[in-house]
Amino acid sequence: MRCAWGRLGGLAMVLAAAGVSLSAAAAPPDISGIWLPVESLSTPWPEPLPLTDAARKRYAAYDPDRDEPASFCMPLGTPRNTLSGTSALEVLQTADRVYFVFQPNLLNAETRRVYLGKPLPRADADRLPTWLGTSSGRWQGEALEVETVELEPQAILNASGLSHSGGLRVKEHWHLERDAKRGPLLVDDIVLEDPGTFTAPLRLKRVFAWAPDARLTEGQCSERLWIDQIWRHRLREHAAARKGAAR
């Protein structure tokens, strides 16, 4: 978002005075820029979750030591990257695509590529799922509608270990709002549809506040594991030295 509010507002007033309407061919809103999650404005996960029996069993069997991908520097994946409420978001926007970039402190930048007007692959297409999924979007007035499929079921949905069946479909409605205290807000109304997990579509809202001075930085997750290895190596060396001295 490039401080265009005042400029566009003035322009609209000039055009309105001349009897010209921009609405017919209005450019989509500019949602580009860096945004920080606002937990207090977002909706929590519902309690209880509307889970199928199969999903309830998966949820109960979740073992954070074994099943948390982030502990192994794997991606958060979609939609957890958007839902987590911990990662800054950078939006890059052109005429035919919108990229949502997250850089949690893991291995990679997670770039959700949303191609505008490009149809999603057919449901029976034999394609491998990915951690970020396949997305398609379109502008509907002032809102960006995004649909994402082909999501990797190893990617959990939240830190409590809620998983999906592989048939997850994420529908999002991104739009701008304005908050008197925080300024521009980027709001994502999210619907998770997965008959193998939820007995009804699950609705969530995530809110991000404009943060032009914030920066996304490279993850250090592997470095942490690397340092951990060096530390353990040192411990082994010290232990061996102590045993040698005791002999």
Partner 1 sequence: MNRPRLAMVMLLAGTMLAIAPLLQAAHPAVSREMAGVWLPDSKRSDRTPSQWPLRADAAAARDKWLAEYGPVDATVDDTNASCIAEAMPWPARLIAQYPFEVLFTADRVTIFHEVFGSLRRIPIGRARNTFEALPSAMGRSIGHWEGDILVVETDMIRREGAGLPSGNPPVSNARRIVERWSMGKDDAGNKQLRNEITLIDPVVFTAPVKMTMRYKWSPDIAVGEYLCQQDIWDQNLQGSPSTVPWRK
Using CB under 8 A as the binding rule, whether residue 109 contacts partner 1 is answered as yes
Using CB under 8 A as the binding rule, whether residue 4 contacts partner 1 is answered as yes
Using CB under 8 A as the binding rule, whether residue 150 contacts partner 1 is answered as no
Kindly tell me which residue out of 18, 60, 180, 245 binds partner 1, with binding defined by CB under 8 A. Answer: 18
Using CB under 8 A as the binding rule, whether residue 225 contacts partner 1 is answered as yes
Contact segment (CB under 8 A) with partner 1 among 53-61, 88-96, 135-143, 196-204 equals 88-96
Using CB under 8 A as the binding rule, whether residue 75 contacts partner 1 is answered as yes
Size of the site for partner 1 (CB under 8 A): 43
Using CB under 8 A as the binding rule, whether residue 16 contacts partner 1 is answered as no
Alpha helices in 62-166 (DSSP H): 64-67, 80-83
Using CB under 8 A as the binding rule, whether residue 42 contacts partner 1 is answered as no
To which H or E segment does residue 179 belong?
A: strand 169-179
Q: How far is the CB of 109 from partner 1 (least distance, A)?
A: 4
Question: Is the distance from CB of 78 to CB of 170 less than 8 angstroms?
Answer: yes
**Tokens in use for 37?**
């999650």
Kindly tell me which residue out of 122, 181, 215, 243 binds partner 1, with binding defined by CB under 8 A. Answer: 215
Report the candidate in 189, 160, 199 with the shortest Cα–Cα distance to residue 70: 160
Q: Which CB atom, from 25 or from 180, has the smaller least distance to partner 1? A: 25
Question: Is the distance from CB of 156 to CB of 162 less than 8 angstroms?
Answer: yes
Q: Which CB atom, from 27 or from 54, has the smaller least distance to partner 1? A: 27
Distance CA(136)–CA(120), nearest Å, equals 6
**Tokens in use for 110?**
């997670």
Contact segment (CB under 8 A) with partner 1 among 9-17, 158-166, 187-195, 238-246 equals 9-17
Question: Is the distance from CB of 196 to CB of 166 less than 8 angstroms?
Answer: yes
Distance CA(92)–CA(239), nearest Å, equals 52
Report the candidate in 76, 42, 87, 29 with the shortest Cα–Cα distance to residue 215: 87
Phi-psi region of 3 (alpha: psi -120 to 50; beta: other; left: phi over 0): left
Report the candidate in 32, 33, 17 with the shortest Cα–Cα distance to residue 213: 33
Contact segment (CB under 8 A) with partner 1 among 35-43, 167-175, 194-202, 214-222 equals 214-222
Using CB under 8 A as the binding rule, whether residue 111 contacts partner 1 is answered as yes
Chain positions contacting partner 1, by CB under 8 A: 2, 4, 7-8, 11, 14-15, 18, 20, 27, 30, 32, 66-67, 69, 72-75, 92-94, 99, 101, 103, 107-111, 130-132, 154, 213, 215, 217-218, 222-223, 225-226, 229
